[in-house]
Amino acid sequence: MSGNQTVEAFRAELRGWLEDNCPQEMRDGGMSEDAICWGGTQWTFSSSAQKDWLERAAAKGYTVPTWPVEYGGAGLNREEEKVFHEEMARINARSPLQSFGIWMLGPALLHFGTHEQKLHYLPPIARGEIRWCQGYSEPGAGSDLASVQTKGADQGDHWLVNGQKIWTSYADKADWIFALIRTDTDAPKHKGISFLLIDMNDAGVETRPIKMISGISPFCETFFSDVKVPKHQIVGEENRGWDVAKYLLTHEREMISGGGAGLSGGGRELGAILAESAGEDGLTDATLRADAMRCEIDALAIGLTLERYKDQSEAGQGAGDASAMLKYMGTELNKQRHELLMNAGGSDALEWDGPLGNRAGDWLRTKANSIEGGTSEVMLSIVSRRVLGLPG
Amino acid sequence: MAKLVMTEDETMLADSARGFLDSEAPVKALRDLRDAGKTHDAALWNKMADMGWAGVLVPESAGGSDMGSAAANVLAHEMGKTLVVSPFLSTAVIAATALRQVSDARTEAALAKIATGDVTYALAVDEGTKFDPNAVQMTAKSDGNGFRLSGKKQFVVDGGLADRLLVLARTDNGLSLFDIPADRAGVTRDASNMIDDRDAARITFEDVEATGDDLLGTVDQAMDVLRPALQAGQAALAAEMSGLTAGAFGMTVGYLKERKQFGMEIGRFQALQHRAAHLWCEIEVTASAILHAGRMLDHDPENAALAVSLAKARATATAQLAVQEGVQMHGGIGMTDAFDMGFYMKRARVGAEWLGDYSYHAEQVAALRGF
């Protein structure tokens, strides 16, 4: 069979499988915080359909379709992955599982982990059994992330970890945390950090949710007091954790930028949403309409840029520091988009859980987009230094 | 859909074009032309034709290389970098695309002459200050077997140098496109003294005779022929503007690295670093839109409207940002005629207006996206 026939055969098979296995209730394109399962030992399924969908997808490797089969994935190549997303979108299927394990730890382990680590940690992520959170930022290490102070003292067969992390997303709901820990206090700041995996149930780990301006608490403070971390729970080499972190930040930036650019593809068109909230006459406010057109043009072009970089990397042409650019452009666009949605909503958008649902909460949430995962200003500094070669 | 990656052939085409243009048409060529009071360099255009550029969109049957819009865009981009003056867009892209929509002995012969560089064209659409083909008022009244054309056109790019004109006029039940020699009786051309130092004209048509043979395509159905030609032209103009942007940006970043103030390179100042980095981000995003437009025109021309308007809108906005930042970051020197940045700014302004400005293309996008 030619490559094209192979892909089309896969499409036919997948379409049949989805028809048989994706519950009707999971075909509403739900994207809200709890519409898609996050997994983990604390997860409460919102319906039996959500549970069935996760289990059936996980059994086929479809929660992490591109991961190798032996680690819980379906081993799809890029063409098949594209077909997978197309077919999922065709029936408006919810993603069966989302998590930081899938987006971040998984890619890091696949790149830096040993075979044993991959076998041990990846399948429970793919099955939604273990939920991970990320321990990077500290009260004194925000944009200057490499200045982390949480210490891991070498005790022979383990490190004794003490310190505090902040902005750990969903730490209170996570089973494990991957964290940047200073294991050499004498080395230059980038060279004394290790990437450690820590069980949140260990004695000495404590979390405290932080209430945000959007009214919810997706972030926590996480405290470590004399937590023992066995030596085998390290990804990559000792004191080389910054390499892993940098690799992961790239993934995180691409993920966050996708939030803004997503509207060019599967997302609803901005104009349609605005017109709906503007009333039956459509978008009649000339200023709002002009802003929306500019926003739509930028969104479409950023969406094409994501596509171009994927095509380039597939063709073996490196995209360089493109992730910083995509993160910056995508998040700034998403903020603009939500400002427009608030304008269009007028006073209806000013009530918590009002006529427009959680529009205000969503708007406030986007303000973090250009802060988390590296601020817009850090992204611009990366471009300035690495792409433009400006002295710094 | 073809990938959004430059092919090997496209990269080679860009490299060879760059080599040729760096020696034959650096920015200094534009300056010299301007200082000599000229708006066109026929010798340069003949050399481009010898390289096959004039026939880039001419079918092989008529002696062209038929390389497609993406390739034409590659050439336009390289020309934009050094502000190359030529009738490439109006003749090799717009006229060639219009002519090839009609298959007959006359268009075949005209296309053959375009490919060899033996004929140049200009497109006469605008009548007011803004591009709006559907608002054309110029009349072409039926007269026996032919027509009588009366009206005024402005901003006819290359209208002074062109041998022939493609003229959009209103017939009994719609718009029609005429292909007539520029020296036909009743045609008066007044050169416009353009800020970008290039050829353009205001043209008056007084009872100009046109036969049925002068009609390109079907009467009252101009858009069948004109729409693809406009789209190819808009995409290539976007590509030229992205080249212009690259040229201005390269100068600006170079200046940030060498100009010293307060005892250090000004590129060390974060205020300037972030503005330059932001501009680079915009340039990258615009590049995707232009590549996409070329791919759509070559592989799915019926559905290329959104891609083309997106490319022209983005290219316009990015070029204007690049030249404004270019002048500002160069400081006073950027304001002088002796320095090249001003040439970039003035060409960006003309490119922004030609074939539809940002607002025009934003409205196209809005219509296609259901606003």
Q: Is the pLDDT of residue B43 over 90?
A: yes
Residue A24 CB partners (closer than 8 Å, separation 6+): A49
Q: Which residues of A214-233 are buried (b: 16+ CB within 10 A; e: fewer)?
A: beeebbbbbbbeebebeeeb
Query: Mean pLDDT in chain B?
Result: 97
Phi, psi (rounded to 5 degrees) for A263: -70, -15
* Nearest Cα residue to B241 out of B305, B298, B306, B287: B287
pLDDT tens per residue, range A90-115: 999 999 999 999 999 999 999 999 99
Q: Who's near A14: CB < 8 A, 6+ residues apart?
A: A83, A84, A87
User: Do A235 and A244 form a contact (C-beta atoms < 8 A)?
Assistant: yes
If DSSP states are collapsed to H, E and C, what string results for chain A? CCHHHHHHHHHHHHHHHHHHHCCHHHCCCCCCCCCCCCCCCCCCCCCHHHHHHHHHHHHHCCCCCCCCHHHCCCCCCHHHHHHHHHHHHHCCCCCCCCCHHHHHHHHHHHHHCCHHHHHHHHHHHHCCCCCEEEECCECCECCCHHHCCCEEEECCCEEEEEEEEEEEECHHHCCEEEEEEECCCCCCHHHCEEEEEEECCCCCEEEEEECCCCCCCCEEEEEEEEEEEECCCEECCCCEHHHHHHHHHHHHHHHHHHHHHHHHCCCCCHHHHHHHHHCCCCCCCHHHHHHHHHHHHHHHHHHHHHHHHHHHHHCCCCCCCHHHHHHHHHHHHHHHHHHHHHHHHHHHHHCCCECCECHHHHHHHHCCCCCCCCCHHHHHHHHHHHHCCCCC
Homologous superfamily of the A243-387 domain (CATH): Butyryl-CoA Dehydrogenase, subunit A, domain 3 (1.20.140.10)
- A71-85, A270-284, A370-384: segment of lowest average pLDDT: A270-284
Same domain? For B259 and B309 the reply is yes
CATH number at residue B109: 1.10.540.10
pLDDT band for position B1 (cuts 50, 70, 90)? low
Mean pLDDT of B289-301: 97
pLDDT band at A275 (very low <50, low <70, confident <90, very high): low
State the residue range of the domain holding B183.
Answer: 122-222
Would B14 be classed as within a structural domain? yes
Give whole-number Cα distances, A124 to A106, A176, A202, A216, in Å.
11, 11, 19, 28
- Least confidently predicted of A256-270, A315-329, B186-200: A256-270
Q: Is B43 on the interface with A (CB under 8 A)?
A: no
What average pLDDT does the segment A12-40 reach? 90
> B267 — contact with chain A (CB < 8 Å)?
yes
pLDDT of residue B162: 98
Task: Please determine, for residue A265, whether its predicted confidence score (pLDDT) is greater than 80.
Answer: no
The alpha-carbon gap from A338 to the nearest alpha carbon of chain B, in Å, equals 17
Task: Supply the pLDDT for residue A319.
Answer: 60
Q: What is the rounded (10 degree) CA torsion for A186, A188, A191, A194?
A: 50
| Distance of residue A324 Cα from the nearest chain B Cα, in angstroms | 9
CA atoms within 13 A on the CB side of A150: 30
For residue A300, pLDDT beyond 70: yes
Which of chain A's residues have a Cβ under 8 Å away from the Cβ of B371?
271, 274-275, 282-283, 289, 292-293, 296
Instruction: Judge if B90 and B188 occupy the same domain.
Output: no
Say whether residue A282 is in contact with chain B using an 8 A CB cutoff: yes
Q: Residue A304 and residue B313: Cα distance in Å, rounded?
A: 15
pLDDT in tens, B206-220: 999 999 999 999 999
Same-domain status, B280 and B312: yes
The token duo for A281 is 């006459």
Please check whether residues B261 and B338 belong to one and the same domain: yes
Split at pLDDT 50, 70, 90, the class of A12 is very high
Q: Are residues B227 and B212 in the same domain?
A: no
Query: Which H or E run contains B170?
Result: strand B164-171
Size of interface A-B (CB pairs under 8 A): 122
Which residues of chain A are within 8 Å of residue B273 when distances are taken between CB atoms?
Answer: 380-381, 384, 388, 390, 392
Domain identity same for B96 and B137: no
Contact status, residue B345 vs residue B323, Cβ threshold 8 Å: yes
Give residue B47's pLDDT band: very low, low, confident or very high (50, 70, 90).
very high
Give the span between the Cα atoms of B302 and B296, in whole angstroms. Answer: 9
By the 10 Å C-beta count (0-12 exposed, 13-18 middle, 19+ buried), A305 is classed as buried
> Of A81-95, A252-266, B230-244, B327-341, where does mean pLDDT reach its minimum?
A252-266
Looking at residues A332-348, what average pLDDT do you find?
91
Single out the residue of B27, B40, B33 nearest to residue B84, CA to CA: B27
Q: What value does the mean pLDDT take over residues A227-239?
A: 97
Please say if the pLDDT value at position B342 is more than 60.
yes
* Model confidence, pTM: 0.89
Determine the pLDDT at residue A255: 63
- Is B199 within a domain? yes
Question: Same structural domain for residues B240 and B361?
Answer: yes
- Is the same domain home to B259 and B317? yes
Conformational region of residue A131, where left means phi above 0, alpha means psi within -120 to 50, and beta covers everything else: beta
Residue A282 has a pLDDT of 61
Q: Same domain for B108 and B128?
A: no
Q: Phi-psi bin for A140: left (phi > 0), alpha (psi -120 to 50), beta?
A: alpha
pLDDT tens digits, one per residue of A114-149: 999 999 999 999 999 999 999 999 999 988 899 999
Mean pLDDT score, A207-222? 92
Residues B197 and B72 in one domain: no
Q: Show which of B192, B222, B252 is a domain's final residue.
A: B222
What is d(CA B42, CA A182) in angstroms, rounded to the nearest whole number? 69
Residues in chain A within 8 Å Cβ distance of B286: 301
Of the partner residues B280, B285, B371, the one whose CB lies closest to the CB of residue A301: B285
pLDDT for position A273: 67
pLDDT of residue A175: 98
Tell me the pLDDT band of A6, cut-offs 50, 70 and 90. Answer: confident
Is it the case that residue B54 has pLDDT exceeding 80?
yes
pLDDT at A312: 85
Q: What is the pLDDT of residue A5?
A: 82
Q: Which of B117, B99, B110 is nearest to B177 (CA)?
A: B99
The yes-or-no verdict on residue A304 having pLDDT over 80 is yes
Sequence-distant (6+) residues with CB within 8 A of B149 are: B138, B139, B140, B167, B169, B178, B180, B186, B205, B207, B208, B209, B210
Question: Considering its fold, how many domains does chain B have in total?
Answer: 3
Q: Check residue A314 and give its pLDDT.
A: 79
pLDDT, averaged across chain A: 89
Are residues B362 and A294, on separate chains, in Cβ contact within 8 Å? Answer: yes
Per the domain annotation, does B3 fall within a domain? no
Q: Which residue in the set A293, A325, A383 is minimally distant from B365, CB to CB?
A: A293
The answer to whether B334 and B74 are in contact (CB under 8 A) is no
Amino acid at B243: G
Question: CB B273 to CB A328 under 8 A?
Answer: no
Q: Say whether residue A301 is in contact with chain B using an 8 A CB cutoff.
A: yes
| Lowest-pLDDT choice from A309-313, B128-132, B327-331, B348-352 | A309-313
Angle at which helices A359-366 and A322-345 cross, to 10°:
150
pLDDT > 90 in chain A, percent: 70
Mutate: best of B6, B255, B281, partner A, most A CBs <10 A: B281
Beta-carbon separation of B285 and A328 below 8 A: no
Cβ atoms of residues B59 and B2 within 8 Å: no
CB A160 within 8 A of CB A189: no
Q: Are residues B48 and B107 in the same domain?
A: yes
- Contacting residues for B54 by C-beta, under 8 A, at least 6 apart: B45, B48, B88, B91, B92, B114, B115, B116, B117
Topology of domain A3-105 in CATH is: Butyryl-Coa Dehydrogenase, subunit A; domain 1 (1.10.540)
At residue A76 the predicted structure's pLDDT band, cuts being 50, 70 and 90, is very high
Angle at B4 between CA B2 and CA B6, to 5 degrees: 100
Which band of pLDDT confidence, cut at 50, 70 and 90, is reported for residue B302? very high
Structural contact between residues A91 and A18, judged by C-beta atoms closer than 8 angstroms: yes
**CA-to-CA distance for B262 and B257, rounded, in angstroms?**
14
User: B148 pLDDT exceeds 90?
Assistant: yes
CATH number at residue B280: 1.20.140.10
State the Cα–Cα distance between residues A129 and A185, nearest whole angstrom: 35
Q: How far apart are CA A247 and CA A101, in angstroms?
A: 15
Q: Please check whether residue A330 is in contact with residue A262, taking contact to mean a CB–CB distance below 8 angstroms.
A: no
Residues whose CB falls within 8 Å of the CB of residue A95, separated by 6 or more in sequence, listed in order: A36, A88
CATH for B193: 2.40.110.10
List all residues of chain B from 300 to 319 with a beta carbon under 8 Å from chain A: 306, 310, 313-314
The percentage of residues in chain B with a pLDDT greater than 70, rounded to a whole number, is: 100
How does residue A279 score in pLDDT terms, banded at 50, 70 and 90? low
Average pLDDT over residues B276-293: 98
Bridge partners of A159, per DSSP, are A154, A229
Cβ pair A328, A379 in contact under 8 A: yes
* Pairwise CA distance, residues B342 & B324, whole Å: 10
Q: Could you tell me if A307 lies within 8 Å of chain B, comparing CB atoms?
A: yes
Whether B2 is covered by a domain: the verdict is: no
Please state which of the ranges A213-227, B223-237, B291-305 shows the lowest mean pLDDT. Answer: A213-227
What ipTM was assigned to the predicted interfaces of this complex? Answer: 0.95
| Mean pLDDT for the stretch of residues B10-27 | 97
The residue in chain A having the minimum alpha-carbon distance to the alpha carbon of residue B2 is A311
Q: Where is the domain boundary, B66, B90, B119?
A: B119
Same domain, B255 and B364: yes
Do the domains A132-239 and A243-387 sit in the same CATH topology, yes or no? Answer: no
pLDDT at A276: 64
pLDDT at B284: 97
Q: Which of B64, B84, B119 is the last residue of a domain?
A: B119
- The answer to whether position B1 is within a domain reads no
Strand (E) or helix (H) holding B349: helix B341-353
Q: Which CATH architecture has domain A132-239?
A: Beta Barrel (2.40)
What is chain B's alpha carbon radius of gyration, rounded to the nearest angstrom? 21
Examine the pLDDT at A253 and tell me if it is beyond 80: no
Collect all residues with Cβ–Cβ distance below 8 Å to B8 and sequence separation of at least 6.
none
pLDDT at B231: 98
**For chain A, domain boundaries:** 3-105, 132-239, 243-387
Q: Model confidence at A254, in pLDDT bands (50, 70, 90)?
A: low
Percent of chain A beyond pLDDT 70? 90
Q: Which residues of A are catalytic?
A: 252
CB contact under 8 Å between A311 and B4, yes or no, is yes
Question: Does residue B95 register a pLDDT over 50?
Answer: yes
Answer yes or no: is pLDDT of B227 > 50.
Answer: yes
- Residue at A145: amino acid letter: L
**What are the tokens at B14?**
């860009």
Per-residue pLDDT of A143-188, as tens digits, reads 889 999 999 999 999 999 999 999 999 999 999 999 999 999 999 9
Task: List CB contacts (< 8 A) between B289 and chain A.
Answer: 300-301, 304
